[in-house]
Structure 1
Amino acid sequence: MGTILPTTRSTLPLDRVITNHLPPSETDANRKLKVHRKSRRGCGNCKLRRVKCDESKPRCKKCTTFGVFCNYDGQYSDLQLSVSGAANIETLQILPHSLKQTIPSPVAPLSRIRSTGSLESRKAIYDFREQDLELLNKFQTRTVYTITTEKNLQFYQKETIKLAYSHPFLMHAILSLTLMHDRYLSAAPNAKLSTTEAFHWYQGIAMFNSKLKGTIDSSEGDAVYATAACLGVIAFFYIEAKTPEEAWPLKPPSSLDLNWLSLSEGKKEVAKVSGLGGGKSFFPTLLPFENMKPNPSSPIVPGLEALPFEFVQLCGFDASSTDYNNPYYAVALSLAKVLNSDCMLTTILGFLCFTMRMLPEYKQLLKRKDPCALLLLAYWFAKMCQHPHWWIIGRAAMEGQAICIYLQRYHGAETDILKLLQFPRMMCSTVV
């Protein structure tokens, strides 16, 4: 047990010992107390940030340095970014380093994003917040690495943010996507869609649709395409089903069935109407899958033998099969290239290629729940369960199990189908 020393002058700090020995008059003369004037008249932003406001009007120095409008009179909302002159340059000092490199100089951040709802006459104002800057930094330093390849990274990491500041539909899409990634990485990844996620997602889609209905300038092509890419990832990630019975193809038919397929097809149309490929876009050299075209004269590649023989029989493949005469061929070809691969990157790239190259005929077969089309999709989902990726794994596991149950239930008498179901059933059911 330690010894507790008595509180004597010898144990007090040296300056206190000396002070206690001075006469009262000398003590009072040396002790100059600084009087602090307390004020509650500071601006709301400083109170919110818990910093001392110098109360200069119309703008205090703290808000000027931070790059926001003072809200003494309530004219501006909390932490509304300033878009005037020097404040823009000063704002740059408080941004993360990665954002400093991408925001144009002089900085012109959005102080407000005007959003259009379902009715043109119904409009709302969204105030850009400090938290949104944090989300943009997360998008650049984390989320962007999960939605593109190293070849595309430079564009998504830098150019996309620049475009988002002048194209609100892209800004909303990025914020929603990053919030969803945040939720996936949280302690409750299976939580419901938050109000903020839903807000940005809805506004992004509403404004994007409004843009597509109008005239798209050639300078807007990259922003439009980047928005389509982000919304495509969001649509694939978001799945309401909690059990396989609630997932497609088991659930009752809905207009939202296979909506991620529609978005993948929509990206191609967006590329056409937005003028991509005219030499001024970042995308023609960054998206190799878009430039892949079927070769009707090419024979079956050796890798197609990687597929189980039952696929050859069910899908009717032979040496003359091409994209033009067999709707399953392109899907089977892309699947065969990754089926025996243990490389996560190769698998994910193959999956992206698969979603981009699906022919309309194959999509129609999926919608009709054709067994061969369902089996090929189930195998793709099984491969993605083998290499889990945050925005793919949820749908791959849930709809993969649902496809297996559907085929077992309605095609259980067919021996080849039952045999082919073993691999997807095993892979999709092992994901928690």
Structure 2
Amino acid sequence: MGPRRTHRKSRNGCQSCKARKVKCDEARPQCNNCVKHGVDCIFSPTPQGSSTAMVLSTTAGVVDISETSIASPMPTVDMTDMELLHHYSTSTCYTISKHPVLQTVWQITIPKHGFAPQSQFVFRGILALAALHMGHIKPDLRADYFATAEYHHNAALKMVSTAIPHINEETGPAIYVFSTLTCIIMCAMRRNFDEFWTTDGSLFKWISLIRGNRAIIYSINDTLKSGPLAPMFVLGHRRKLAREARSTDDQPFLENLRQEIIESVPDQDELQCYLEALDNLAKSFATVFDTQLVEITDVFIWVYEASDGYIELLRQQRPEALVIFGFFCVISKQLESAWWMEGFSIPLIRAIYYHLDEEHRYWLQWPIQQLGWAPY
């Protein structure tokens, strides 16, 4: 006997028939089922010069994508921005905080503020921070990413400048988010700390920005503490209460500085500003030395709560004010595991050191030793 013949069923056939789950006779130029039901057949030839229609088979049936839908103008997508947004949501957002809840806020909640038409400055801020992070990861492309970050951040600053005078319950949270982003961006964008005390003034812009958040919080306090950003404030309040409860007794390095300042400052108002700054600094030292996971709040709260009097003395480059800020560098060092704070403390204390006379340089010996820096 010869080989047994089997009937092969065609694996082809018209997609319209398959979608209707009927047998296709594969007749050309159109199958009979399509002719019967009055639908376009895949076997039907397309006349030259006519527009192309695409038929997609789905579980719901046949979907016709006509020329009009294909030819409609489509918005362009900036793939560079998409890359930065993807990088932010998969990497950068996890570098801002070590707390799992706050990481989720930075990944999920913060970007939502950037999608509203009136607060796209947040979206630009996110792109700027992501670009700086990419530049940190890819040093050979750092200049390009830095330029991208500057472009987005400058555009955001123009947008937010028109929103700040009209801050309200609706726009306030986005402005607060952008202000916080900008504090981080300025740390990541710093170039030359030696300029902080002279022409550039970046340090005081950064300080003013941190302290400026107080006005935003006060103006929309209830909205921030009850809205989507509430976890940031709930956890921040808990850390502040723990900070206030810690003992500051065993800090001889600050006691020595306190005595030096008391003996050298005759003006009582000025002296009071320094002593308040030292009391507040003692709480920060107690916090960072007794905390495994140091958060932004633990470090920046000292700048946030410093008196206007002390900040003005710092702006005037009074030696006692500069020395106190030099001690703060030991605290800021605790955040340098984050890429955007990396290399922050030593260049800053170096800039302070070379703005002091010989006597006050000796006052900086303890923070210099803690940071492992040697004057040259």
TM-score by length of 1: 0.59
For residues 368 and 198 of structure 1, the distance between their equivalents in structure 2, rounded to whole angstroms, comes to 29
> Contact 1:314–1:372 at 8 Å: present in 2 too?
no
Aligned to 2:165: 213
Is 1:238 the counterpart of 2:238 in the alignment?
Answer: no
Change in 2 beyond 3 A, CA 1:284/1:357: farther
> Contact 1:261–1:355 at 8 Å: present in 2 too?
yes
Change in 2 beyond 3 A, CA 1:339/1:292: closer
Tell me by how many angstroms 1:179 deviates: 0.8
Q: How does 1:69-80 map to 2 (within 5 A)?
A: 71=73, 78-79=76-77
Of 130, 133, 153, the residue aligned with 1:178 is 130
For residues 236 and 253 of structure 2, the distance between their equivalents in structure 1, rounded to whole angstroms, comes to 22
Change in 2 beyond 3 A, CA 1:279/1:289: closer
Residue identity in the other structure for 2:322: L
Aligned to 2:6: none
Change in 2 beyond 3 A, CA 1:225/1:348: closer
Change in 2 beyond 3 A, CA 1:228/1:323: farther
Tell me by how many angstroms 1:341 deviates: 5.6
Which is worse superposed, 148-157 or 160-169? 148-157
Aligned to 1:196: 148
For residues 169 and 419 of structure 1, the distance between their equivalents in structure 2, rounded to whole angstroms, comes to 43
> Contact 1:220–1:274 at 8 Å: present in 2 too?
no
Secondary structure at the counterpart of residue 76 of structure 2: coil
Tell me by how many angstroms 1:331 deviates: 3.8
> Contact 2:169–2:223 at 8 Å: present in 1 too?
no
Q: Deviations over 1:374-393 (max 9, x none)?
A: 22322332444464422122
Structure 1 unaligned spans of 5+: 1-40, 43-53, 61-68, 80-128
Higher helix share: 2
Aligned to 2:317: 369
Q: Deviations over 1:69-114 (max 9, x none)?
A: 965xxxx5533xxxxxxxxxxxxxxxxxxxxxxxxxxxxxxxxxxx
Number of aligned residues: 301
Aligned to 1:147: 96
Q: Deviations over 1:10-45 (max 9, x none)?
A: xxxxxxxxxxxxxxxxxxxxxxxxxxxxxxx99xxx
Aligned to 2:303: 355
Rg larger in 1 or in 2? 2
Aligned to 2:67: 57
TM-score by length of 2: 0.66
> Contact 2:329–2:346 at 8 Å: present in 1 too?
yes
Is 1:391 the counterpart of 2:328 in the alignment?
Answer: no
Tell me by how many angstroms 1:201 deviates: 0.2
Residue identity in the other structure for 1:157: Q
> Contact 2:274–2:320 at 8 Å: present in 1 too?
no
For residues 365 and 326 of structure 2, the distance between their equivalents in structure 1, rounded to whole angstroms, comes to 13
Aligned to 1:329: 278
Q: Deviations over 1:234-271 (max 9, x none)?
A: 12222131xx5x3323xx34454521101001111112
Q: Deviations over 1:358-409 (max 9, x none)?
A: 22222112112222332232233244446442212244332221112222xx
Task: State percent identity of aligned pairs.
Answer: 16
> Contact 1:398–1:428 at 8 Å: present in 2 too?
no
> Contact 2:353–2:364 at 8 Å: present in 1 too?
no
Residue identity in the other structure for 1:199: Y
Aligned to 1:247: 195
For residues 131 and 224 of structure 1, the distance between their equivalents in structure 2, rounded to whole angstroms, comes to 25
Secondary structure at the counterpart of residue 328 of structure 1: helix
Larger RCO: Structure 1 or Structure 2 (Cα < 8 Å, ≥ 6 residues apart)? 2
Superposition CA RMSD, Å:
3.9
For residues 269 and 285 of structure 1, the distance between their equivalents in structure 2, rounded to whole angstroms, comes to 20
Structure 2 unaligned spans of 5+: 1-50, 53-63, 264-270
